[in-house]
Amino acid sequence: MHPVLFEIFGFQIRSWGVLLVIGVLAGMVLAARRARRFGISPEGTMDMAWLLLIAGVIGARLGWVVQQLPYYLERPVEIFYLRAGGMTSYGGVAGAAIALAFWCRRAGVPFLVALDWLAAPALAVNAIGRVGCFLNGCCYGAECDLPWAVVVHPEGEGEAYLGHPAQLYDTALSLLGAAALLWYERRSPTALAR
């Protein structure tokens, strides 16, 4: 695990954040390149991407706060301490999905078309972001004794152990899913929502 890549003037640059930014940028580029195929203006994709990113971060944080509600009820001001960590992927997906529905309504894009358009870019974002989770040491898997097991140091949750590199499994499955979707699109372009 390598949670901190480097420091600048005492400010930590964390691996998870850097890889999430790289993933989001890759997803934005892929979404912009695919937009015309779905009848969407590539220029409008950047506004949509920023909206989804902001809503995703808010949703990810709210998901974490709900998961740890007793703690935050006693310390409500800490809800806003994003540098202390604490986000959930399902909260992020929920926040981004709500924002996407809002964007679709404003842009006149059918929601199912947007889902087809953004499925592969979203999987690319997840694949890169999960490498960040691996480096950060979060989202780890259960204990195992397989040859590819990694040493897991659960922060504040007990002793180190050998566990599944669940984040890397997620990365591999996301990349396979994105590749399968792109392959299917090329083979069956009329099967997409229009």
Mean pLDDT of 174-186: 93
Q: Which pLDDT tens digit goes with each residue over 142-170?
A: 899 999 999 888 665 678 889 999 999 99
Long-range (24+ apart) CB contacts under 8 A made by 26-32 are: 26/121, 26/124, 26/125, 26/128, 27/121, 27/122, 27/124, 27/125, 28/121, 30/120, 30/121, 30/124, 31/117, 31/118, 31/121
Q: Which pLDDT tens digit goes with each residue over 39-76?
A: 888 888 888 999 999 999 999 999 999 999 999 999 99
Nearest-10 crossing angle of helices 15-34, 44-67: 140
Long-range (24+ apart) CB contacts under 8 A made by 136-139 are: 136/1, 136/3, 136/14, 136/15, 136/16, 137/1, 137/3, 138/16, 138/85, 138/167, 139/89, 139/166, 139/167, 139/170
Q: In the structure, what pLDDT confidence band is assigned to residue 125 with cuts at 50, 70 and 90? A: very high
Q: What is the pLDDT of residue 3?
A: 81
Q: What is the pLDDT of residue 194?
A: 59
